[in-house]
Amino acid sequence: MSESPDLVSPVETDLSGFDLVNKPMLNKGTAFTDVERDTFHLHGLLPPHVGTLEEQVERRWKVLCAFATDFERYAFLRDLQDTNETLFYAVLARDLEQTLPLVYTPTVGEGCQRFSEIWRKPRGVFISYPNKHRIREILADARFDRVRIIVVSDGERILGLGDQGAGGMGISIGKLALYTACAGIHPDETLPVLLDVGTNNQERLNDPLYVGWRHERIRGDEYDAFIEEFVTAVTERWPDVLLHWEDFAGSNAARLLARYRDRLCTFNDDIQGTAAIAASTLLAAVNVTGVPLTEQRIAVLGAGSAGCGIASLLLQAMIDAGASEADARSRFFLVDRYGLLVEGMADITPAQQPFLKRPADVEGWQLQKPGTVGLFDVATNARPTVLIGVSGQGGAFTEPVVRAMAEAVERPVIFPLSNPTSRSEATPEQLMTWTGGRALIGTGSPFPPLQWNGRAAKVNQTNNSYIFPGIGLGVLAAGARRITDAMFMVAGKKVAELSPTVTDKEGQLLPPVTELRSVAIAVAQVVARQAQADGVADPCDAATLDTRIAARVWEPKYRPYRKVG
């Protein structure tokens, strides 16, 4: 795999004039030097002032802060990314804590809903079902020669907002922005892809501005054949690519991962990344509560791909910590739309199967509504120590549920992970109020600091951005051919090791967002070593591996240009 070029070495290009300033990865705007303006025929295209990247960042920051809404800021940053990519990432780096919620959750949700309103310039590739015979032609463009990481979505389950059709491209673009901002993956090595197989969102289909294919979603054998054609074309074009699946519906997410995970280097972030960061945050909470992982009782609301992924990784973590498999399984309570998963229920998926309760397990439970075991019943009868929400249902953690849980637990651990913010199962303020300030909270979307007992406390954002950027960096540096479950396990444990709670029980559960770059590098190191241990990457010594990781970390700085051709 290629390594990122030295920042001080010149960029060679045969472009000049209008073509040069209109290439986002090469445009410097007013920072082109006088010599470069002579060489590349830029006089007249640019104002006479020769500025610096730092000045440009301050100018863009002033404009960014002047907007009235986060969606306006999102649209502004998307335009900036399509105009001057180096400046875009320099602006993000100025204050990651403020900018990440603008380019990803929660604002990216509205960005996907309103994608057709703000689409202006091509970024990535739209592969629509009518163009299924052109997939290889589309991917063959020489602009994509350096691609090493692809984020692909079919737009069917965007965050907790459901089917957004072609607007799902916003999620692929946003995820890849985090690969670069958090782990330094070079922008030219990333490719967002939207597989447009139609949409069942009538609001999108009725919208005259909608840019996607106006057709109901393709299903069944036709859908599977289309995905197969795409994956085959990708592996032919880039044999060593990392393919990241994002926001596929639960009915497709797990089975596509199972089908392809042994054919190429691939993972599903909704299943594996979410599981890893949930494990990180829970392990950090253990530092505070003192209750070992093997003694936790875990209720998960939402037994789709994300909920089952979380439960599966935590189950393995319990077993690794010394619990028997039977005892570990007994400590999980997965609740879906029809209640607690119990043997005999219809439409049980393979991922849910390991977590089914026997009817005897709930015999004798006092139920709110006879015949249905809801989340409140789990809270009052199972007495969970941990409550995790990936339901996409805003307000699903009701006051009675939370109070019932808190009655039996000294420090209840509660993670409302659904996003965007409107889909969060509860707000941090509600959870603190209902537990008398005793809850340890992690949220999927960012929330403002929580005011409690006269002081402000930051809310832990249990976000996959702590995990997947480092996974990508480690995979590329090690040259990993596959991604194993163990690689996500070590990633999750490494983030937990970096938790402030290791040395301070009053500290945040997760490292500050401002440290995401160093977190990604630490995750990359353990992931790369695990890839070697699992036999999916060629061995080399630790020093060489660390050097490869460092060499791949791109910084948003302008480099000198040299004319060729």
Q: Using the Cα atoms of residue 51, residue 55, residue 61 and residue 63 in order, give the sign of their dihedral.
A: negative
- Active-site residue identified among 28, 74, 89, 175: 175
Which residues, in sequence order, are CB contacts of 306 under 8 Å at separation 6+? 270, 271, 274, 275, 390, 417
Q: Is 104 a catalytic residue?
A: yes
Q: Report residue 203 as tokens.
A: 């609001």
Radius of gyration of the chain (CA): 24
How many Å apart are CA 481 and CA 255, to the nearest integer?
A: 20
175 catalytic, yes or no?
Answer: yes
Distance from C-alpha of 375 to C-alpha of 388, rounded to nearest angstrom: 11
Q: Any known ligand binding at 221?
A: no
Q: Does 131 carry a binding-site annotation?
A: no
Q: Which amino acid type is present at position 430?
A: Q
Closest CA to 339 of 314, 309, 367: 367
Structure tokens at 132: 């299924």
- Dihedral sign for Cα atoms in the order 278, 283, 284, 285: positive
463 belongs to an annotated ligand binding site: yes
Q: Where does 321-420 have alpha helices with state H?
A: 325-330, 375-381, 399-408
Cα distance between residue 314 and residue 285, in whole Å: 14
The answer to whether the annotation marks 247 as part of a ligand binding site is yes
CA 191 to chain centre: 15
Say whether 34 counts as a known binding-site residue: no
Phi, psi angle pair for 90, to nearest 5°: -65, -35
DSSP 7: T
Q: Which of 74, 89, 104, 561 is catalytic?
A: 104
270 is in an annotated binding site: yes
Sign of CA dihedral 197, 199, 200, 205: negative
Q: How far apart are CA 236 and CA 238, in angstroms?
A: 6
Residues of the binding site for a divalent metal cation = 246-247, 270
Which residues are known catalytic residues? 104, 175
Residues of the binding site for (S)-malate = 157, 419, 463
Residues of the binding site = 157, 246-247, 270, 419, 463
